[in-house]
């Protein structure tokens, strides 16, 4: 019997096959900072080891291909020659071990190369017009630790990098608990691209990191980003946060109210956060004049049929006209105004 020779080589097959998602994403990565930080040592003798670009691509593939741990990634590298080739390795050469990848992760963690690369990518996205920056959203996402969970009593209180226990409601309203960290991210709502982030142990409250996250965004980019609106979920509803965003960052926090078991709202405000008249009808929003909100009588505007009419509030025939300033209470006095379509 005769063995038929292959009509094409593995390299030819690789060149002809369609571009995979992994290969497409890796083709856009800027390796400039990686090359600057890890300069090749021309005087070094002996084995040169794996290139830092190969190791970096390998770690990126772990996220794209959603491997649960380093062990699964190493197993795939050994068993899949096409996967190896897409990461820059030859078909039959050895691939990095778990220890090699863990050492490289430690090297990256001890440098600021990933942070600088992230900021450079955001700057390029702004130059291309992909990031608008007018409106941003802030939220936190869980990061589960690979280490085995430990009891709270054994978690060091003076180590801000050590994982901890955290809990929050998911998108379906179910309470989830995990051991690890939180990534607090500030995202451009126009493109959905992240602009800034902070990683904390999982037990740190979302609302306590929001101002630091905004300040980090301001400090990271020279020509500055000055969003007008900062959108967050009800977990961020904290009076001091509204004031900080308005007075320090000259923006408006757009957050649903979280009364936290409060049965009665403050005087002159309903449970929706709207200003109400003495008959408990919500005032009508009539615009924002440089931080001053005009409020109109709902009866005079035809929004309700008040039994007392508009004469009870004012003798003016056109009805009551009130003015409130955002700076006095940015939680309830907002621009855009609460319960309006713009809000």
Task: Write the pLDDT tens digit of every residue in 31-51.
Answer: 888 888 887 654 444 456 788
Asked whether residue 82 falls in the same domain as residue 54, the answer is: yes
Q: What is the mean predicted confidence (pLDDT) over 289-308? A: 89
For residue 260, what are the contacts with CB-CB under 8 A and spacing of at least 6?
none
331 CB-near residues (< 8 Å, 6+ apart) = 237, 239, 242, 243, 253, 273
Alpha carbon 219 to its chain's center: 17
Axis-axis angle for helices 52-64, 70-79 (nearest 10): 110
The reported pLDDT for the residue numbered 213 is: 96
Of 14-23, 179-188, 298-307, 334-343, the poorest mean pLDDT is in 14-23
Q: Which residues have a Cβ under 8 Å from the Cβ of 295 and sit 6 or more positions away?
A: 275, 283, 284, 285, 286, 321, 322, 323, 324
Greater pLDDT, 92 or 57: 57
The answer to whether residues 248 and 139 belong to one domain is yes
- What pLDDT was estimated at residue 46? 43
Look at residue 172 and tell me whether its pLDDT is greater than 90. no
Number of domains into which the chain is organized: 3
Q: Which residues contact 239 (CB under 8 A, 6 or more apart)?
A: 331
Q: Is the pLDDT of residue 208 over 50?
A: yes
Per-residue pLDDT for 214 more than 90? yes
Contacts of 304 (CB under 8 A, 6+ apart): 281, 298
Let me know if residue 249 belongs to a domain. yes
pLDDT of 71 over the 50 cut = yes
Q: Which residue has the tokens 């190969």?
A: 54
With cut-offs at 50, 70 and 90, classify the pLDDT of residue 260: confident
Is 5 within a domain? no
Q: Is 77 among the domain residues?
A: yes
| Predicted local confidence at residue 230, as pLDDT | 97
Has residue 245 got a pLDDT over 90? Answer: yes
∠ Cα 187 135 169 (to 5°): 50
Which residue has 């992230």 as its token pair? 118
| Residue 175 domain-assigned (yes or no) | yes
Q: In this structure, are 137 and 84 located in the same domain?
A: no
Same domain, 194 and 301: no
* Nearest Cα to Cα of residue 207 among 167, 171, 234: 234
- Per-residue confidence (pLDDT) for residue 43, from 0 to 100: 46
Report whether 216 contacts 183 (CB < 8 A).
no
Looking at the structure, do residues 196 and 233 belong to the same domain, yes or no?
yes
Rounded Cα distance, 231 and 185, in Å: 12
Same domain, 247 and 341: no
Six-digit token pair at 258? 């979280």
Please give the model's pTM, rounded to 2 decimal places: 0.82
Residue 14: predicted pLDDT: 58
Assigned domain for 217 exists = yes
Note down the domain range covering 239: 114-146+162-254
Select the more confidently predicted residue: 19 or 327: 327
Same domain, 199 and 239: yes
Nearest-angstrom CA–CA distance, 201 and 213: 15
Residue predicted with more confidence, 146 or 266 = 266
Q: Are residues 329 and 239 in the same domain?
A: no
Q: Is residue 76 part of a domain?
A: yes
Q: Is residue 201 part of a domain?
A: yes
Note whether 177 and 81 are same-domain residues. Answer: no
- In a shared domain, residues 210 and 187: yes
Is the same domain home to 171 and 95? no
- Domain finish residue from 254, 288, 305: 254
| Domain identity same for 59 and 127 | no
Q: What is the mean pLDDT of residues 189-204?
A: 94
Residue 185 has pLDDT above 80, yes or no: yes
When the pLDDT of each residue in the chain is averaged and rounded to a whole number, the result is 86
Mean of pLDDT values over 254-280:
89
> pLDDT tens-digit profile of 111-153?
888 898 899 889 989 999 999 999 999 999 999 887 778 888 8
Pairing outcome for strands 135-144 and 229-231: parallel
* Residues near 308 by beta carbon (within 8 Å), at least 6 away in sequence: 279
Q: Is residue 18 part of a domain?
A: yes
Give the range among 7-11, 55-59, 243-247, 279-283 with minimum mean pLDDT. Answer: 7-11
């Amino acid at each position: 019997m005769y063995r038929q020779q292959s009509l094409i080589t593995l390299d030819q097959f690789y060149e002809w096959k369609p571009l995979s998602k992994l290969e497409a994403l890796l083709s856009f990565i800027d390796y400039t900072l990686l090359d600057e930080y890890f300069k090749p040592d021309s005087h070094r003798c002996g084995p040169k080891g794996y290139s830092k670009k190969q190791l970096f691509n390998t770690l990126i593939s772990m996220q794209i291909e959603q491997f649960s741990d380093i062990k699964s990634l190493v197993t795939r590298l050994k068993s899949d020659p096409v996967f190896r080739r897409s990461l820059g390795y030859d078909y039959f050469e050895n691939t990095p071990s778990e220890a090699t990848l863990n050492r490289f992760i430690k090297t990256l963690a001890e440098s600021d190369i990933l942070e600088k690369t992230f900021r450079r990518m955001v700057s390029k996205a702004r130059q291309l017009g992909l990031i608008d920056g007018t409106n941003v959203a802030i939220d936190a996402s869980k990061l589960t630790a690979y280490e085995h969970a430990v009891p709270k009593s054994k978690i060091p209180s003076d180590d801000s990098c050590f994982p901890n226990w955290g809990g929050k409601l998911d998108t379906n309203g179910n309470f989830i608990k995990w051991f690890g960290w939180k990534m607090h991210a500030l995202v451009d709502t126009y493109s959905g691209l992240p602009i800034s982030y902070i990683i904390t142990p999982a037990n740190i409250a979302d609302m306590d990191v929001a101002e630091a996250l905004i300040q980090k965004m301001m400090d990271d980019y020279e020509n500055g980003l000055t969003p007008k609106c900062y959108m967050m979920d009800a977990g961020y509803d904290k009076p001091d946060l509204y004031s900080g965003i308005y007075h320090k960052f000259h923006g408006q926090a757009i957050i649903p109210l979280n009364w936290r078991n409060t049965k009665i709202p403050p005087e002159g405000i309903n449970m929706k956060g709207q200003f109400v008249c003495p008959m408990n009808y919500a005032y009508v929003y009539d615009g924002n004049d440089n931080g001053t909100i005009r409020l109109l009588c709902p009866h005079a505007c035809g929004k309700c049929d008040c039994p007392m009419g508009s004469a009870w509030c004012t003798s003016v025939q056109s009805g009551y006209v009130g003015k409130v300033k955002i700076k006095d209470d940015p939680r309830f006095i907002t621009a855009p105004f609460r319960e309006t379509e713009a809000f």
